[in-house]
Chain A
């Protein structure tokens, strides 16, 4: 239990956060969107941090999750090739969430299968291309996605309580707790995974691939499975995003969001459980702190500067850096006894 203490402390703080913020919708909104992007960053960390494979198109899974969930709950009527018409009646957002997870998991499988036979740079290129192709589809298949006109009027999630029936989550506070619950589940899932046999296989492949193969680890299978779980988690975040903002356009596929996610993971500490959470909170809320003083374009320079400083002071990221400081303080106490200096 001890090793989960920092995470539990952070969770307690996050549960209490809305009390501290009071009724400040702007701040609460910033925290909710930050939380959603942080879930996506956690999913990216599963690949980048634990298997060492960089997905630079991770936003594609996020965006697909958002669109699948939105379209499931809005319904659509499209004509495919050959006059074949597909009509879908609106379903509840919760089903959209489930379908988003399944669809993005399948996309993760496809991308993993295509690129993990060769890995490394190929995976990076395949993920970038995949994200770009998906963005173009979202932009140009106007009949389905409304293109740049955006999908509007997406229904919010609703909560079913015994005795009270279903209530739509229209306000910010319940959405905040929904994001917190999904984020905590994702965290627990990753924590359990990386300590299991599957997690050891991922670590082995990252640290010494030849040796991992020689003890019988199937590289393609392990990495593809990691990509499926990671993509599905990003898809879940995308679904939360769609039903919270209730409007999405093809800009959800912007490459810069993937970059933000990579910055969150690397700055917080890749390959650690808490790294993407800490990085996500810092880099997600930094724009809020910077907004009064500079325009959004200039914020990127501050992002870069902060990342450089972090990498300079704590090369492996904030969380490993702090963990190291904590152990140093604990073990260096006896060394403070003054050493006798000979004349």
Chain B
């Protein structure tokens, strides 16, 4: 694990909805510049964890710290201001606006225009700068050709890219991606992996939730595995691939799981 202070620490977070335990006790750190994946079977509590980190849900216990600041009680729009941004699993766009206007909405925090300036027509230069920035962002995620299309009319994979552009528009220090490649085919996924790497190269730390295991194994520096709201394993991809607890979580305790676990042990021994 890299040294130095973590950029994000999830400190013994628990979430309960009445009697249902969505997250029992989640505890892990992410360090600056890392690409970390949060994986686990359906219902393991991954999206719930994202919602806690970004202020959409209040944890029942524990807290999340971002760059040393506790996020306790902060609403989503203030957490973004601290430099922690996210994408959404399903609804990642403003459907009735063009892709370009989507990014313009995303640049809200960057705009400085006050209402008075708008009414007096003094926000022209600021608006021009925002439009330039929106074009840059669309170039970056590869959607320049789709700028004037309605976001709601794009394919799912492209809507994900709009979501990423929106998150990048807030100039985050860390980006949380919720199942970014679901609904993408293999080649689109490869393009997306390159995008994730280019985002990291610009100094943005990345935490992603994803079901596409080959993609997770390829892109992650480290993987955190959740099951039934608990952390069951943590480590680099190679170690996670052969971790008996992880295999059990994904495949159950049937014969197939035992065989897989056996095979994993043999690879480690060899």
Contact = CB atoms under 8 A, between A and B. Distances in A.
Interface of A: 189, 192-193, 196-198, 200-201, 203-204, 207-208, 210-219, 225
A196 B106 CA distance: 13
B77 A207 contact: no
Nearest to B75: A213
Main secondary structure of the interface of A (DSSP, over half): helix
A319 to B, nearest CB: 15
B199 to A, nearest CB: 16
Interface in B83-127: 85-86, 88, 91-97, 101, 104-106, 108-109, 111, 113, 115, 118-119, 121, 123, 127
A278 B190 CA distance: 51
Given A196-B123, A201-B105, A215-B166, A225 B94 contact: no
B115 A207 contact: no
B114 to A, nearest CB: 9
Pick the 9 closest A-B CB pairs, nearest first. A216-B109, A216-B80, A196-B118, A213-B76, A207-B94, A197-B111, A204-B105, A200-B105, A215-B106
Given A203-B94, A204-B94, A211 B170 contact: no
A3 B115 CA distance: 23
Given A203-B94, A207-B95, A208-B94, A216 B77 contact: yes
B91 A216 contact: no
A215 B169 contact: yes
15 contacts: A192-B118, A197-B111, A197-B118, A198-B113, A200-B105, A201-B108, A203-B101, A207-B94, A208-B95, A211-B94, A215-B80, A215-B105, A215-B167, A216-B109, A216-B170
Q: Which of B96, B111, B118 has the most CB of A within 10 A?
A: B118
A105 B88 CA distance: 36
B54 A214 contact: yes
B156 interface: no
Contact of A211 (B75, B88, B104): B88
A213 B77 contact: yes
Interface of B: 54, 56, 75-77, 80-81, 85-86, 88, 91-97, 101, 104-106, 108-109, 111, 113, 115, 118-119, 121, 123, 127, 130, 163, 166-167, 169-170
Given A192-B118, A200-B104, A214 B94 contact: no
A192 B119 contact: yes
A216 B166 CA distance: 11
A217 B245 CA distance: 42
A217 B108 CA distance: 7
Nearest to A229: B115
A212 B105 contact: yes
Contacts of B80: 214-216
Given A203-B105, A216-B80, 5 more contacts: A197-B108, A215-B170, A217-B108, A218-B77, A219-B77
Contacts of A198: 113, 115, 118
Contacts of A189: 119
A197 B104 CA distance: 8
B108 A200 contact: yes
Nearest to B91: A208
Q: Which of A198, A203, A212, A215 has the most CB of B within 10 A?
A: A215
Contacts of B167: 214-215
A60 B163 CA distance: 40
A216 B108 contact: yes
A261 B75 CA distance: 35
Given A208-B95, A216-B80, A193 B118 contact: yes
A271 B91 CA distance: 22
Nearest to B118: A196
A101 to B, nearest CB: 14
B111 A217 contact: no
Contact of B88 (A196, A207, A214): A214
Given A197-B118, A210-B88, A210-B91, A217 B77 contact: yes
A197 B117 CA distance: 11
A208 B95 CA distance: 8
B109 A215 contact: yes
B57 to A, nearest CB: 12
Q: Which of B54, B108, B169 has the most CB of A within 10 A?
A: B108
A204 B108 contact: yes
A210 B119 CA distance: 28
A200 B118 contact: no
A39 B109 CA distance: 32
A76 B144 CA distance: 64
A217 B170 CA distance: 11
A197 B56 CA distance: 24
Contacts of B104: 200
A196 B118 CA distance: 7
B119 to A, nearest CB: 6
A200 B77 CA distance: 15
Contacts of B91: 208, 210-211
Contacts of A211: 88, 91-94, 163, 166
A197 B113 contact: yes
Contacts of A219: 77
Contacts of A213: 56, 75-77
B101 A200 contact: yes
Contacts of A192: 118-119, 121
Contacts of B121: 192
A219 B163 CA distance: 19
B259 to A, nearest CB: 43
Given A197-B113, A216-B108, A208 B118 contact: no
